Amino acid sequence: MAEHQDDKELLLEFKNEATKERAYTAIIKKYQEKLYWHIRRMVLDHDDTNDVLQNMFIKVWNNLDNFREDSQLYTWMYRIATNESLTFLDKQKKRSAVSISDDDSYMSNKLVADKDFDGNKLEWKLQMAIQRLPEKQKIVFNLRYFDEMPYEEMSRVLETSEGALKASYHHAVKKIEDFILNH
């Protein structure tokens, strides 16, 4: 794995006009994959993910000078990525005129449309179950299960109490388990 610069150094370089673009490029390279997969697990499609990711990085460029460093850089960017993804999904559903009652099957249907989809494989079943969760609960599950994020950090990303996150995750696990066992 490539060596990456320390966040504090990158932030200092970003604030300097002479090194701003180089620092920005380094920040992208350092976090691009983690952020990509976080977004991808929410919006599913690669092209949609790319759009959201690009928008997210534009926001990083425009707002990084005002970043107060009271949280980790990665936590801050994760929060932007989460909000951008949720905004994107809202707009997409509105465009597709998806009713609230169809909401849980909308994303599952999108998953089924993936060219690599194989309903017989357990990992795809797991994704089907995840996509049936409410958006916020899905995010909590993904962050904990796939990214193994500590609840303390998750609390800063999602601006929700640790207790609420733990409860949400436990409920999510039960729902997913029920789906897998019954399908």
Partner 1 sequence: MTSNKEISAELLSLSPTLAAIPNTNVFSVPDNYFNELPASVLQLLQPDQSFSFGKAGIPSMTVPEGYFDGLASSILSRIKSQAEETASEEISSLSPSIAAIGKKNIFSVPEGYFDGISTEALKNIAPQAKVVELKPKTRILKYMAAAVVAGVIGLSIFNLTGTKKQDSNSGYQADLMAQANTILKNKSFDKELNALSDKDIEQYLEANGEDVDAALVASTVVDDNNLPSVEEYIIDDNTLENFLKKVNLNN
Where does this chain touch partner 1 (CB under 8 A) — which range of 8-16, 42-50, 65-73, 131-139?
Answer: 42-50
- Which CB, 102 or 174, lies closer to partner 1? 174
- C-beta of 79: minimal distance to partner 1 in Å? 18
- C-beta of 62: minimal distance to partner 1 in Å? 8
- C-beta of 116: minimal distance to partner 1 in Å? 6
Which ranges constitute the DSSP H helices of the chain? Answer: 7-15, 20-43, 46-63, 73-95, 103-112, 122-131, 135-145, 151-158, 162-182
Q: What is the DSSP letter of 165?
A: H
Handedness of CA 21, 38, 111, 86 (dihedral sign): negative
53 scored as a contact of partner 1 (CB under 8 A): yes
Where does this chain touch partner 1 (CB under 8 A) — which range of 4-12, 21-29, 77-85, 132-140?
Answer: 21-29
126 scored as a contact of partner 1 (CB under 8 A): yes
Residues 84-123 that bind partner 1 (CB under 8 A): 114-116, 121-123
Q: How distant is the alpha carbon of residue 13 from its chain centre?
A: 27
**Alpha-carbon gap, residue 143 to 154, rounded angstroms:** 7
> Nearest CA to 53 among 66, 68, 64, 42?
42
**Alpha-carbon gap, residue 68 to 89, rounded angstroms:** 28
Where does this chain touch partner 1 (CB under 8 A) — which range of 4-12, 47-55, 87-95, 100-108?
Answer: 47-55
- Which CB, 69 or 177, lies closer to partner 1? 177
- Which CB, 82 or 169, lies closer to partner 1? 169
Contact 102, 95 (CB under 8 A): no
**Alpha-carbon gap, residue 130 to 172, rounded angstroms:** 8
Contact 102, 93 (CB under 8 A): no
Residues that bind partner 1 (CB under 8 A): 17, 20-21, 24-25, 28-29, 32-33, 36-37, 40-41, 44, 46, 50, 53-54, 57-58, 61, 114-116, 121-124, 126-127, 144-146, 148-151, 169-170, 173-174, 176-177, 180-181
